[in-house]
C-alpha cells in the first residue's frame, strides 16, 4: 500500500505530481462484456459488476476531491446491441438512480444528464428529471451522466438550433463562435474534461465528447471496467500529473 491509498476518507489526496488534480475527469467505462465472457458469464453480469465498479470509483473520486466527474454510460450507438442487453442496461440505469440517488444527494453531488432526452422510455425520462431536480442545489461535486449520448448528434443539434435562430432573423451568422456552439451542447456550462480515461485497452473516443476533448489529456488503461476502483483511478491521476498541457502554447520555461 502506498501513502496515498492510506489517506483518510474525505481528505483530498492528490497524487504527488506536478500537474495537480484535474478539475473534470470523464470516464469511458469499457470492458464489461469482455470481463464476463472471460469468466464464462453472460455479458449482463459484466454490466452488473460494472455498476459496483462505478460506485467504488465515484466514492473514491469524491474522497480525492475531483470537482466534476462524467461517466459514459450509454452511447447513441449502443441501441444497436441485442434487445436483451439494451433492456438489461436500461434496467441497471434505473436501479442505479433508484438505489444510489439518495446517497449521492446526501454526499452533496449534483447530477446532470448529457445526451438526447427525446424518445426515451417515460419511466427513464422521469428518473433523469428527478435526479437533476433533487440534486440541483448541491455543490460538492457534479456528476455528469452521459446517457443516450453521441457527440456528433450533439454537435449537429447545436448547429441546427443556431441555424434556426439565424433563419428566424434572431441571430447574425457572425455570432456563431466556438462559445456559441459550446453553449448549445448538452454539456453547456460544464468546463471541458481535463482528463478522459478509457478502460479495457481500447484507444478511441467512440463518439464521446469530440468537441469538449479538444485539449483533454487521454489516459487509456488496460483494466476492464468491472475491475476498476480507487487504485486504478489514482494511477490515471498520477499519469495525468506527469503530462504537460500546452494548449498550443509553449512549454513553461524550466531554465537553461
Ligand atoms: C461498456 O462495456 C458498457 C457499455 C458500453 C454500455 P461493453 O459492454 O462495451 O464491454 P465490451 O467492450 O464488450 O467488453
Ligand atoms: C463506448 O463503448 C460507450 C460506452 C462506454 C457507454 P463501446 O463499447 O460502445 O464502444 P466501441 O463499440 O468499442 O467503439
Ligand atoms: Mg465496449
pLDDT digits (tens, 9 = 90+) for 153-186: 999 999 999 999 999 999 999 999 999 999 999 9
Give the per-residue pLDDT at 251: 85
In a domain, 254, yes or no: no
- Residues with Cβ within 5 Å of ion ligand 3? 30
Ligand found nearest the CA of 204? 2
The yes-or-no verdict on residue 57 having pLDDT over 90 is yes
In a domain, 181, yes or no: no
The yes-or-no verdict on residue 6 having pLDDT over 90 is no
In a domain, 217, yes or no: yes
Query: Which of 27, 34, 115, 203 should be mutated for ligand 1, with most atoms under 8 A from CB?
Result: 34
Active-site option among 13, 30, 192, 194: 30
Give the per-residue pLDDT at 14: 41
Which atom of ligand 1 sits closest to the CA of residue 35? 14
Distance 33 CA to ligand 3 centre (A): 7
In a domain, 72, yes or no: yes
pTM of the model: 0.92
Cβ neighbours of residue 208 closer than 8 Å, sequence gap 6 or more: 26, 28, 72, 75, 146, 149, 151, 196
Closest C-alpha residue for ligand 2 atom 2: 30
**Ligand 2 neighbour 72 (Cβ under 6 A):** yes
Q: Could you tell me if 141 and 112 are in contact, meaning their C-beta atoms sit under 8 angstroms apart?
A: no
The yes-or-no verdict on residue 52 having pLDDT over 50 is yes
Q: For 125-152, how does the pLDDT look when each residue is reduced to its tens digit (9 = 90+)?
A: 999 999 999 999 999 999 999 999 999 9
Distance 121 CA to ligand 2 centre (A): 21
The yes-or-no verdict on residue 19 having pLDDT over 70 is no
**Ligand 1 neighbour 30 (Cβ under 6 A):** yes
Q: For 92-122, how does the pLDDT look when each residue is reduced to its tens digit (9 = 90+)?
A: 999 999 999 999 999 999 999 999 999 899 9
Which atom of ligand 2 sits closest to the CA of residue 33? 8
78 catalytic residue (yes or no): yes
The yes-or-no verdict on residue 253 having pLDDT over 70 is no
Q: What is the CATH number of the domain that holds 233?
A: 3.40.1180.10
**Ligand 1 neighbour 45 (Cβ under 6 A):** no
β-bridge mates for residue 70, sequence order: 26, 144
Domain count, the chain: 1
In a domain, 46, yes or no: yes
How many Cβ atoms sit within 10 Å of the Cβ of residue 52?
12
In a domain, 236, yes or no: yes
Q: Which long-range contacts (CB under 8 A, 24 or more apart) does 158-165 make?
A: 158/184, 158/185
In a domain, 185, yes or no: no
In a domain, 32, yes or no: yes
How big is the chain, counted in residues?
256
Which atom of ligand 2 sits closest to the CA of residue 74? 6
| Domain containing residue 56 | 24-150+191-241
Amino acid at each position: 500500500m502506498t501513502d496515498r491509498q492510506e489517506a483518510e476518507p474525505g481528505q483530498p489526496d492528490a497524487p504527488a505530481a506536478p500537474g495537480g488534480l484535474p478539475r473534470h475527469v470523464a470516464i469511458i467505462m469499457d470492458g464489461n462484456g469482455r470481463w464476463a465472457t472471460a469468466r464464462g458469464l453472460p455479458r449482463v453480469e459484466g454490466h452488473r459488476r460494472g455498476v459496483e465498479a462505478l460506485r467504488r470509483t465515484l466514492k473514491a473520486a469524491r474522497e480525492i476531491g475531483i470537482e466534476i466527474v462524467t461517466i459514459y454510460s450509454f452511447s447513441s450507438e449502443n441501441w444497436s446491441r441485442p434487445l436483451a442487453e439494451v433492456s438489461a442496461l436500461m434496467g441497471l440505469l434505473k436501479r442505479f438512480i433508484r438505489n444510489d440517488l439518495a446517497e449521492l444527494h446526501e454526499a452533496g453531488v449534483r447530477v446532470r444528464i448529457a445526451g438526447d432526452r427525446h424518445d426515451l422510455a417515460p419511466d427513464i425520462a422521469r428518473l433523469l428529471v428527478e435526479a437533476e431536480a433533487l440534486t440541483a442545489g448541491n455543490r460538492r461535486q457534479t456528476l455528469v451522466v452521459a446517457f443516450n449520448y453521441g457527440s456528433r448528434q450533439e454537435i449537429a443539434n447545436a448547429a441546427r438550433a443556431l441555424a434556426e435562430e439565424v433563419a428566424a432573423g434572431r441571430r447574425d451568422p457572425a455570432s456563431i463562435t466556438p462559445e456559441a456552439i459550446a453553449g448549445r451542447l448538452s454539456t453547456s456550462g460544464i468546463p471541458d474534461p481535463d482528463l478522459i480515461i478509457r478502460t479495457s485497452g481500447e484507444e478511441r473516443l467512440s463518439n464521446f465528447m469530440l468537441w469538449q476533448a479538444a485539449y483533454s489529456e487521454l489516459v487509456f488503461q488496460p483494466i476492464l471496467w468491472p475491475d476498476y476502483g480507487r487504485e486504478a483511478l489514482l494511477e490515471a491521476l498520477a499519469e495525468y500529473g506527469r503530462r504537460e498541457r500546452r494548449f498550443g502554447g509553449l512549454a513553461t520555461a524550466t531554465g537553461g
